[in-house]
Amino acid sequence: MQCVECEYKRFGCAIVLPRKDMAEHLKTSVEAHLQMIKRWIEESEDGVEEKEAQLEQKMNSLMGWVLIVLPILLIMFLLISCYLWSPDVTIVPCVLAVHFMYIHYALK
């Protein structure tokens, strides 16, 4: 006699019965199986909400870095462009400007 697992095993049903008895189990355990599915869905929703919160936290962290790095890169580009356009301008003010911008954004 071959035993089979309940088709609701993934939702928590641990019954293993002979194949001939499984149809009766499915008929008599409808309410229990529905409760298992309901609990599984609720746990899945909790997991999704937790993942969404983690993703939002990572996005906020990434945006923080973008808000720091992007202005610095823009200023560096502008300062280097100005230097290349007018080489008589010394590079020290350019470096200091970038450095102070970095400190300003890093301390926010």
What are 16's strand-pairing partners?
Answer: 5
pLDDT tens string 13-69: 999 999 999 999 999 999 999 999 999 999 888 888 889 989 999 888 888 777 777
Q: Residue 106: enclosing H or E segment and its boundaries?
A: helix 92-106
Residue 83 and residue 101: Cα distance in Å, rounded? 18
How many domains does one find in the chain?
1
47: DSSP letter? H
Say what the pLDDT of residue 2 is. 93
- As a whole number of angstroms, the distance between CA 93 and CA 62 comes to 29
pLDDT greater than 60 at residue 108: no
How many beta carbons lie within 10 A of that of residue 23, not counting itself? 10
Range of the domain at 37: 3-106
Q: What pTM was computed for the model?
A: 0.51
Residue with more model confidence, 100 or 23: 23
With a cut of 70, say whether residue 7 has pLDDT above it.
yes
